[in-house]
Every structure is written in structure tokens, then in C-alpha cells.
A and B are shown apart, each in its own frame.
Chain A
Amino acid sequence: MEESKNQHIAWIEDATNEDYIVVSSRVRIARNIAEHPFPSKMNVDEGKEIRDLVNNEFKNDKKMRIYYPESISAVEQENLVEKHMISPQFINDNNLVKGLLINEKGSLSIMVNEEDHLRIQSILPGLNLLKCYDEVSAVDSYLEKKFNYAYDTQFGYLTSCPTNIGTGIRASVMLHLPGLVKTRNISKSLNAIAKLGLVARGIYGEGSEAMGNMFQISNQITLGRSEEEIIQNLNNIVNRLVDQERNAREYLYKEFMVNFEDNVGRALGVLKNCRKIDSNEAMQLLSEVRVGSEMNVVVNLDAAMLNKLIHDIQPAALQIEMDSDLSSSERDIARANILRKRLKGVE
């Protein structure tokens, strides 16, 4: 059986040097099969039936890997959450039989029996919402021919929670916005987009904390608009945000050039030499180095390499790498070791 830790993850490893500010794009749709109750009212047998039905559709597809979540260790499941292949809700123990399929590239994942029978997701590096939607749509159309989806003429596709009905689509983008944070414009920008039907939150960290200046923007409304409208709306707003971010960076560089370069330089220095470092500080310093790389100031690391670094210093990733349970301070040491190793030789 394939190990999930060997799974290639497209948004991390295939990032190009266009993908510094917009780190990744994601589109997921929620679907339920008509004749069966939703996961909240399903018993174990029904859950297994659905899981087997879905797995059956892909058993001859060489590009899809079928995982059995009950056989995946807790730490590997956490790692899959860190890689954005599955949601945190998916690993909540609720006695249901769950299914998980991920394609070879790690750009497409299907969760079976999370909050709905099917959560089909595509996640790609950079700003690529349309491509994500195409990937998801292809799987959706294929399965739609085989299954009878729960659908209502008025409410559209039916989901367990009324907040997902209609298109069942959640489109989101992960953005690196240190310029807006430092020029204290981030709240203004995020409040503005909230008025346009989007919701923003920090990705790493608790609640809406934005560790490493990483933010996720997604649509909130799923009913009453077409999929294309929702995606186009998000796309346009992200482009505006990126422009605002670039302007903020240019301003900071022009006005405070020495400070700007100093921040990047010091960040690189600490990352290359520290012996223990907590995730907060590590994410902050990696953010500085990412800005420097994007603007070719002081340092120039590949976006893919930076993505991998951010991911490999997350808690579950560290525990897998060290192959043992680690206390918080042991993780801080392991984190520093990885950083020193990867950044050795970088000028």
C-alpha cells in the first residue's frame, strides 16, 4: 500500500517563480448521493457502501491512489491536513467509514464521508482557479453519470449544511501579504473584500491568526451564482489584492531600503544558524526571506523550495521526519536542524 508521506503534492513542489505572492489556489465541491442519508445520519454499513461505491469507480484508474484512512496513522493524517489534502474535520473520529483518493500529482483529492458523501478538491500552485475548476469538474461530471446526486430544482445540489447548497463550490486562494501587513493596510483590504462576499482568515496558526503573513481568501456564498461567476469574482479580487501587495512592497523598499534589506538579511542569518526555533518565529523569518526572493533582494530562493520548507517545519511533518513523538522543545530543535540543513550554502 502506498504510504501517504510519499505522495507528491503539486502546490508545494510544482510552484514556479510566478508563485511567490499567490501561493496556491483551491476549488472544492460538495456532493451527496441521493438515496442515502447524509454522513451525520449514516450508519457504519451505509458509510462502507458509499466508500466502496466511490473506490470502485477509480479502481482501474492508474493515476488515482486509493487510501484507506483507517490504516493511516494519526500523525500521517495530521500531515495530510498540513499538506491541504484533507480537512481537519475529516480526521475527527466519528466511527464512520471514510474514503480518500488522491491523484499521482497530488493536485486532486476526493474525501468520502467527511461532512458530505463527496468532497472533490483540486489544489494547484499559484493563481490557477480555472484549472482547478476544470480538474474538479471533470471528476464531478464523470461521477454524475454514475451516481444520482441529491439535487433540488430550487436549492441546487444538496449538502449536509445549508451553507454549501447550490453549486456546493468553495473556491479559495492562499496569499502571502507581508507588505499589506507592514503598511498596516491589511485590515482595510480584508474588510473591503468581506463586503464583496469573500471571507479571509490566516492559514497557519489558531483561528484567524496569520502566521508568516499567509492568508486564505474564499467565497462564502454558494447559492444563486454560477460556478464561473464565483470563480471569476474571486480571481478579480485576488488580482487587485496582489497589485495592492506589490505596491506596498515597492513603497517599503523605496522608503526604507536599508531596513528592508536588513530584515531579509537578518532573517536569513537566523534561519541558517539557529539551534532551536519555534514555528511562529520560523514562519516570520521565512516570510521575510520569501519577500526578499520575490523581489530579488538579498536572497533568491525558489518558491518551491520555500513551500517545502514551510511545510517540512510543521508539527506533524517534523514528527514523521524524526520518526518519533516529539515534545514542543524537541520540535523546536528538529525545526532548526532542518532549516540549517536546507539553507546550507545559500548566500
Chain B
Amino acid sequence: MLKCDKCNQNEASVKIIKVNNNQRQEMYLCRECAAKEGSFTLTNTGFSVSDFLSSFMNYPAQQQVVDAERPELTCDKCSMTWEGFKKGSRLGCAQCYETFREKLTPIIRQVHGQLEHQGHVPPLEGIQRMQRIKKLRESLQAAIIDERYEEAAKLRDEIKLLEKES
């Protein structure tokens, strides 16, 4: 028989896990001590999750840690936070993808198995590519005239790559 951690007399029938940021504490208590332990109610079927959450909010230790933590990453265009995204599974604006790029990347990889767009691109992308190719050609000409042949070769390869893409 597993004895209650608190009174060490009754049989432990309730397992309580407290999580404070990175600290995790497990306790095995009897029903009486569990009821005395915190602001959660025991029903016949067990605890309700929201009861746990609200009791964590009341712990002073939790408060101090939250204050000391650096401000949460926020999109400066629409004020969406990472927590907000986790809650609603929706992002707030296009800028969010830039703000949360690092955190989103593993999730996106898991959902799609890929990370690079391969489909239709906006027409402006095509125009931008043309402009870039034009600029590179001008640099290539200048490099040849100046007899900077190594640089010219690099530019020529870059142009080839861009032309292949279009």
C-alpha cells in the first residue's frame, strides 16, 4: 500500500502533479490531505483540469517567476503572441510568420513534411527576378572589362541559376 506523503497514515489514492515553469513536483496523497492541499475540488471522477490551472495562478512562486521572465515574443503589427497562437491555432497577420519563423518552422515541417514553397508565385516575383538578372549582367560586363575573370565566372553561374528558375 502506498502511504500518503503528507500524513503517512492513510492510503494514497490521489496523485498530484504541480508544474512551475521548469519544476515538476509529484505528490501522492490520501483524499483528506488532497482536499486540504489546495483550491481544487474532488469529484467522484477525479479533478477537472481547469481547477488545477486556477490553483497554479495563486501560487506566489509562480507570480515571481512570471514577472522575472523576459516579455513574450509579440508580433509588432497585430500584437499576436506565441501563447495566443497556441491557444487559437491561428496567426494574426502576414508579419507573424516573420516574427515567429523560428518557432513555426518545426510545426510546419511536421504538418507538410516540407519547408519550401514549390508552387505558383506572385507575378512580382517574376519581375523581381528579371530585374536581378539584368543587374547581374551589368556587373558581369563590368567584371569582364576589368579582367576580373574569377568574379565574372561567379556572376555567370548565378545568372544561369536564376534563368533556370524562371
Contacts and interface: CB of A to CB of B under 8 A. Distances in A.
Given A162-B104, A167-B117, A224 B112 contact: yes
B92 A155 contact: no
Nearest to A228: B119
Interface stretch (B6-14, B83-91, B131-139, B145-153): B83-91
Interface in B78-116: 78-80, 88-94, 97-98, 104, 107-108, 111-116
A150 B108 contact: no
A212 interface: no
A152 B97 contact: yes
A284 B127 CA distance: 55
Contact of B123 (A34, A144, A223, A225): A144
B116 A224 contact: yes
B117 A153 contact: yes
Interface in A104-135: 115
B115 A34 contact: no
Interface stretch (A36-44, A180-188, A262-270, A305-313): A36-44
Contacts of A150: 93-94
Interface in A154-197: 154-158, 160-163, 165-167, 169
Contact of B94 (A34, A144, A226): A34
A199 B20 CA distance: 39
Contact of A156 (B80, B89, B119): B119
Given A167-B119, A167-B120, A224-B117, A160 B90 contact: yes
Contacts of B116: 154, 223-224
Contacts of A260: none
Contacts of B160: none
Contacts of A224: 112-118
A154 B121 CA distance: 11
Nearest to A151: B122
Contact of A41 (B78, B111, B119): B78
A145 B127 CA distance: 13
Contact of B91 (A38, A157, A222): A38
B15 interface: no
A32 interface: yes
B77 interface: yes
B111 A162 contact: yes
A229 B97 CA distance: 25
Contact of B93 (A37, A154, A167): A37
A76 interface: no
Contact of A155 (B88, B108, B113): B108
Given A41-B78, A41-B92, A162-B108, A149 B122 contact: yes
Interface in A38-91: 38, 40-41
A301 interface: no
A227 interface: yes
A170 B98 CA distance: 24
A163 B110 CA distance: 10
Contacts of A32: 94
Given A38-B90, A38-B91, A162-B108, A223 B114 contact: yes
B90 A223 contact: no
A225 B114 CA distance: 8
A161 B112 CA distance: 13
A221 interface: yes
Nearest to B112: A223
A122 B84 CA distance: 33
User: Max chain B CB contacts within 10 Å: which of A41, A144, A169, A225?
Assistant: A41
Contacts of B98: 152
Contacts of B108: 155, 162, 165, 223
A153 B97 CA distance: 11
A133 to B, nearest CB: 10
A228 B102 CA distance: 29
Contacts of A167: 117, 119-120
B90 A158 contact: no
User: Max chain B CB contacts within 10 Å: which of A32, A37, A158, A169?
Assistant: A37
Closest 5 CB pairs of A and B: A224-B114, A156-B117, A150-B94, A41-B92, A167-B119
Given A40-B90, A162-B91, 19 more contacts: A37-B77, A37-B78, A38-B94, A41-B80, A41-B92, A153-B117, A153-B125, A155-B117, A162-B108, A165-B97, A166-B114, A221-B112, A223-B108, A223-B117, A224-B112, A224-B113, A224-B114, A226-B119, A226-B120
12 contacts: A38-B94, A41-B78, A41-B80, A145-B123, A149-B122, A151-B125, A152-B98, A154-B115, A155-B97, A161-B90, A161-B91, A166-B119
